[in-house]
Amino acid sequence: MQSNRGPAPYLLIGLFVCLSSIAFAQGGNPFLPPQATLHPERDREYDLQHVLLRLKIDEKNRTFAGSVTETLTPLRKVSAIHFDALDSLQVSGVSVSGRQVPFEHSKNSLSVSLPVAVQSRGGLPFTVTIKYSLKPNAKTSSSLNGEYGFHWIDPNKFTPNKRLAFYTQGETEGNRGWVPIYDYPNDKATTETYIEAPASWFIVGNGRLMGIENNTSTHTRTFHWKMTQPHSTYLLSLVGGEMDVVRDTWQGVDLYYCVPKGEGGMIPASFGDTKDMLTFFSNRLGVKYPWPKYAQTCSFDFGGGMENVSATTLGEGSLVERRSGIWPMASLNSHELAHQWFGDLITAKDWGHIWLNEGFATFFEQIYIEHSRGKDAYEREREGAFNAYLGESRRYKRAIVTQYYPNQDAMFDSHTYPKGGLVLHMLRHTLGDDDFFYGLGYYLRKHGYHPVDTNDLIRSFTESVGRNMQPFFDQWVYKPGHPVVDYTWKYDEGNQQVVIEINQSQDTKDGTPIYNIDMPYQFISGSNSVTGTFSFSQAKQTVKLDSKMKPDAVVIDPGHDILMERKVHTYSVSERQAILRAGNSYLDRRAAALGLMLPEDSDENIKAVLEAVQKINNPFLLSEVLNRSNTLARPALRDVLRSITKNSDPDVRTAAINILGRLPKDDSDIKLLRGYVNDT
C-alpha cells in the first residue's frame, strides 16, 4: 500500500511526515506504553477456505444487497463461529449447509450458531451463507488511501469529470465494512464474485474474468471474477463504474488498464512500463508473476495505491500525460506490483510484521528505479528513504518488528517503509546479489500462498544459501534505532598506515545497540582508489589499514550502503577535489562539488568546478549539481551554461535553462530560450 504524494523522486516522504507528526502530537513514543499495547497474532476458530460473493448494485440508493457463502472447517470444537461484520451491514438470514440457524449481529461481530454435526474439528468442510445488505450511505472511516469498506464516488460541481462509481478498501480492517468475513491476514482462502451492475459499468475484481452476462430486461450486466489461488481476505476488492479499459497480455497473463471514462488517453504514459516491471521482477526473483491477471484501476476519491490481489487500485490523481515526463508513475506502479509477490503471494501474518509487505515493496520499487534509470537514481531513492526515516526517528524509534503498537494503522510508518527497504539493501550488500535474490526466490517458493513472519525469512536464507542471518536481523530489525557515526583519519608515514578514529555516538538508553558493522572504505589517490572493509563494533575504535602512500581522501561507506547517520565530516578542499574526481557514490561527488562552489568563491573557481563536473560525463550528477547549487546564477558563467543547454540529457538542459532564466536579460539568451520554447 502506498499513499499518494505525486511524482516526486521519493514518493513516501509526505505520508511519513504526516504520520510522524500525528505520533509526535500524541506525545512521546506511540510505540511505548501506555499508548502501545500488546497485539499478538489473532486466534482462529476455523480455517476459511473459499468465499463466494453474489451482489447486486443499487446505484440510485447508494447501496447493494446479496449474499456471501463461506466454506470452512472448525479448528477446534465450537458451538458458534464468528465473522467480522460492521453494524452498518444488515444481516437478514444465515444458513449452515443449507439449514437456517440462529445468529446474533452486534458490536461489529456476527455470531453464527452451528449444528452439532459440524462443531468438531477434523470434519468435512461446510458452508455458511449470509444474506445481507449495506445501509444506504453507511458511514466509513478513513484509511491511508481513501475510505475503508465500500466507498461511493459521487459526482460534484467541483470535479465535473467525476462520475458515479465505487471502490472497496480492505487494508487493514476495512473489508468487514462491506462483507461479513474473517478479516485478519493470518488465514487465506480462494474467492469468487458475481456482481450485477448497470450495463454501462465495468467491474474489476480479483482473479480471472470468467464471463460477463448481459441482462437486457434490467439494463444491467453481471461480472463473474474467480481467484483459484488462496489469499488473505483484506486483499479482496471490487471497483466499479464507467471506465475506459485497455486490455493486453504478458506471457499468458491478462492485463487490464482501467481509468475513469474519458481519461483513457493517459493510459499509455501512466502504464506503458508495466510489462517491463513484470519481466524484471519475475526474472530477478526466479518466480514468475503468480496470478492469472493484473489490473491497474484508477478511481476518484482514492489516494495512492492498494495492492489488492491481482487488482491494484490507484488514485485517479496519479494519472499522467506524455508531457509529464518519462514514466512518472514508475515508483508508485512498481511498488504496488512488487506487492503481488510480497504481501499477496506471501503475506505478513500479523501487522507487527508488516515490513515483510511494505519494506519489500519499497525496496523493489527502488531496485526497479535502479534497473530503469541507473545506479545514481537508485542511490537518490535510498537517500530520500533515509531522510524520511531519519525525520521520524527524531520523534520516536522502534524496532521494525514489534507487537506493541497503538493500533495496526500506526505500523504503516517510515520504520516499516523506508527503513525496511534500506535494511533489505544492506542485506543485499552483505550477501551479494546472487545469494540475496536466490534466497528471496526460495522464500517465495517455500511459503507462497501462506502467511509468514520474519523468522520464516531468516530461515529461508539459512536453508537456501547456508547463511545464518540471525545476528543481522537481531540488530537491524528486532532493535530500534541506527548508528550515528563520525571519524577522522591521518597517515602514519613510518608504518605506512592510514589510522582511522571512528565512533558510534547513538543514544543506547532506548535499546538501540552499539552496532557490529563490516564498514566499507575507499582510499582515493589521484584518479585511482582502493576499497575494502574493516570490522567496526565499538563505541570508540582505532583502525589501522595498510597503505603505501598517503591517500588524497579517505571515505567510509563510499557506496552509502550502511543505514547510518553521518555526523558532519568537514573535508578539506583537496579531499573534496579528490572525491569529485573518483568518489564511488554520486552522492559524495555531488556533496564535494557543492562544497567547492561556495557563495564567496570567485567566478573563476565556480567555473572550474562546473567544468570539472561536466568532464565526469554523468548527466545525473550534473543535473543534481545544477539544481542544488545556489551559486551558479552568475553572468560570468553564461558561456558554460549555454554550452550545457546543448547536453543530450533533458534534465541537464532544463536545469541549465532555468539558471540562465534567472540572469539579467541578454538578447542571446532570449533567442536561445525562445528557440527551445518554439522547438517542435
- The three-state DSSP-derived secondary structure of 621-666 is HHHHHHHHCCCCCCHHHHHHHHHHCCCCCHHHHHHHHHHHHCCCCC
Residue 16: how many other CB atoms lie within 10 Å: 26
Q: Tell me whether strands 450-452 and 346-348 are parallel, antiparallel or unpaired.
A: parallel
Per DSSP, helices labelled H in 466-585 are 470-476, 573-582
Q: How many angstroms separate the CA atoms of 552 and 233, rounded?
A: 59
Nearest Cα to Cα of residue 642 among 616, 604, 612, 676: 676
Nearest Cα to Cα of residue 369 among 344, 345, 338, 391: 338
Q: How many angstroms separate the CA atoms of 47 and 44, rounded?
A: 7
3-state secondary structure at position 673: helix
How many CA atoms does the CB half-sphere of 106 hold within 13 Å? 2
Q: Cell numbers of 570, please? A: 568537514
- Contact between 180 and 84 under an 8 Å Cβ cutoff? The reply is yes
At 679, the pLDDT band (50, 70, 90 cuts) reads low
- How far out from the chain centre does Cα 472 lie? 22
**For 336-385, how does the pLDDT look when each residue is reduced to its tens digit (9 = 90+)?**
999 999 999 999 999 999 999 999 999 999 999 999 999 999 999 999 99
Q: Is the pLDDT of residue 235 over 50?
A: yes
Q: Is the pLDDT of residue 5 over 80?
A: no
Q: Tell me whether strands 484-492 and 99-100 are parallel, antiparallel or unpaired.
A: unpaired
| Measured CA distances, 113 to 77, 94, 377, 662 (Å) | 12, 9, 58, 75
Average pLDDT over residues 551-563: 97
Q: What is the pLDDT of residue 58?
A: 97
Q: Is the pLDDT of residue 10 over 50?
A: no
Q: How many angstroms separate the CA atoms of 292 and 252, rounded?
A: 8
How many CA atoms does the CB half-sphere of 661 hold within 13 Å? 11
**For 131-164, how does the pLDDT look when each residue is reduced to its tens digit (9 = 90+)?**
999 999 888 888 878 889 999 999 988 888 899 9
The one-character DSSP state at 419 is: I
Query: Which residues, including other chains, have CB under 8 Å from residue 393's CB and lie 6 or more apart?
Result: 414, 415, 481, 482
Residue 635: how many other CB atoms lie within 10 Å: 10
Q: In what order do the strands lie in the sheet containing 517-525?
A: 528-536, 517-525, 553-556
Q: How many angstroms separate the CA atoms of 550 and 177, rounded?
A: 68
Q: Is the pLDDT of residue 3 over 70?
A: no
Beta bridge partners of 111: 82, 104
At 223, the pLDDT band (50, 70, 90 cuts) reads very high
Q: What is the pLDDT of residue 30?
A: 97
- Contact between 33 and 398 under an 8 Å Cβ cutoff? The reply is no
Amino acid type, 489: W
- Contact between 669 and 643 under an 8 Å Cβ cutoff? The reply is no
Residue 671: how many other CB atoms lie within 10 Å: 9
Number of H helices, E strands in the chain: 17, 31
Only one residue has cell 510508518, namely: 413
Q: Is the pLDDT of residue 8 over 50?
A: no
**For 164-176, how does the pLDDT look when each residue is reduced to its tens digit (9 = 90+)?**
999 999 999 999 9
The one-character DSSP state at 316 is: G
For residue 331, count CB atoms less than 10 angstroms from its CB and return exposed for 0-12, middle for 13-18, buried for 19 or more. Answer: buried
**For 614-626, how does the pLDDT look when each residue is reduced to its tens digit (9 = 90+)?**
999 899 999 999 9
3-state secondary structure at position 597: coil
At 673, the pLDDT band (50, 70, 90 cuts) reads confident
Q: Which helix (H) or strand (E) holds 24?
A: helix 13-26
For residue 491, count CB atoms less than 10 angstroms from its CB and return exposed for 0-12, middle for 13-18, buried for 19 or more. Answer: middle
φ/ψ of 663, rounded to 5, equals -80, 160
Q: What is the pLDDT of residue 574?
A: 95
- Contact between 525 and 551 under an 8 Å Cβ cutoff? The reply is yes
- Compute the mean pLDDT over every residue in the chain, rounded to the nearest whole number: 93
Q: Cell numbers of 149, please? A: 469498506
